[in-house]
Amino acid sequence: MRCVVTGATGYVGGRLVPRLLDRGHDVRAVARTPSKLANVPWRDDAEVARGDLGDLDSLLAAFDGADVVYYLVHSMGTSRDFAAEEERAAGNVVTAARRAGVRRLVYLGGLHPSDAELSPHLRSRTRVGEILLASGIESVVLQAGVIVGSGSASFEMIRHLTDRLPVMTTPKWVHNRIQPIAVRDVLHYLVEAATVELPESRPWDIGGPDVLEYGEMMQIYADVAGLHRRAIVVLPFLTPTIASWWVGLVTPIPSGLARPLVESLHCDAVMGNHDVDAVIPPPAGGLTGYRDSVTLALKPIAEGARAPSESLPSDPDWAGAVVYTLKRSGWTAAAEDGLWKAIDGAAPLNNWQVKAREPGQRLLLHRNGPVPGDVWLHMRVGAVSGRGSTYHQRMLFYPKGIPGRVYWYAGLRRHRKRFRQLFREVMDSAG
């Protein structure tokens, strides 16, 4: 099938494209700025086109020949009047899809109760779903709550608040019930939505197997991250505006994005009567539990990780774990095999565990000592066009909470000294 993915530079869209390709679909990735997709791993396998949901003509060209269009764009944090902008965008998508003869629309909206007063953010996303359902085109509207995975704005808010605040004050919504879902399960439902036999166009709720209070989610995160249990003090008078200011102050999440996220937490977000499993079976092996999905999201990216729960290069600057890096490279007259022998002989073994060893190419070590964080050491042979070879050495430190940050900065001179000593030892040994 020809699948068009709008929002291909976004968190979900960037992860969806390669999975559609894996299923054998032809994929056209649509972005307002196509150059942002120049370095994604799947660039050579998908067609990339310019498309702006505010520009009908660009959508007509982008949707040409499409069977399925994925609507994965929203204006939260990018527009002062995002509700009006999203309604106009939805209208343009419907018009362009009708003219292009698109057979199905797939939209990812927000999970919400049917009888509650919604925040502007959730109300806007619900309105977009209603416009698509009224279009006369087959439409699958999936509604998800907190998506768990590195890069997800909702998850990053949990990550940064819990990492940085051993004691935190929160609004009363910290006791509201949430049904989070792992990003890989969201991708499963989105991929299946392209071809599933659809009894009717309607909204479908998607969620993981666990229903938790928001505060519980933060405590589970702390446990998985190796942090002490967080002290949460509920202040009933703490308004969403004040809470969003606080989030913007202590985390790198932009305040324009933090406010609608905070406002959307004022009501429960659990699956209702629109169970998607009646149409799309869950993944083989079942849905991922919240604790397991957090564990996947916190997996350190020592070298080349590309699972959907982990960080990707296309994620925003504020996404992902805090990581401190030391790196150094240098040319040596030694041939590649000689450099590898030097690496193999100089690699520290006390308190280190070998995680990957590719003879002649690279060595990846993980520190096992009592350090408040994860330490990775990567030693690699680099080829050159002429004589000799290049040695690449990199250390990554993922701090655990405030103690990890203090440990890194308090001992920074010592860390740099040991790093330089190891580098010189390898270079001198290689000759």
Domains of the chain: 2-297 (3.40.50.720), 324-430 (3.30.530.20)
pLDDT of residue 243: 78
**Residues in Cβ contact with 237 at an 8 Å cutoff, skipping those fewer than 6 apart:** none
If one counts every other C-beta atom within 10 angstroms of the C-beta of residue 258, the result is 22
| Amino acid letter for position 277 | D
Taking CA 417 as the corner, what is the angle to CA 415 and CA 419, rounded to the nearest 5 degrees? 70
pLDDT of residue 306: 58
Average pLDDT over residues 264-276: 76
For residue 207, pLDDT beyond 70: yes
Q: Report the predicted TM-score, pTM, of the whole model to 2 decimal places.
A: 0.86
Q: Please write the tens of the pLDDT for every residue from 146-198.
A: 999 988 989 999 999 999 899 988 888 889 899 999 999 999 999 999 999 98
Cα 86 to Cα 91: distance, rounded to the nearest angstrom? 9
For residue 215, pLDDT beyond 90: yes
pLDDT of residue 429: 94
**Residues in Cβ contact with 228 at an 8 Å cutoff, skipping those fewer than 6 apart:** 166, 222, 401
Region for 366 from its dihedrals, namely left if φ exceeds 0, alpha if ψ lies in -120 to 50, beta otherwise: beta
pLDDT of residue 205: 92
Q: Considering only residues 67 and 347, tell me which one the structure prediction assigns the higher pLDDT.
A: 67
Q: Please write the tens of the pLDDT for every residue from 223-249.
A: 999 899 999 998 877 777 777 777 877
- Reported confidence tier of residue 75, pLDDT bands at 50, 70, 90: low
Q: Please write the tens of the pLDDT for every residue from 285-306.
A: 899 999 999 998 888 765 555 5
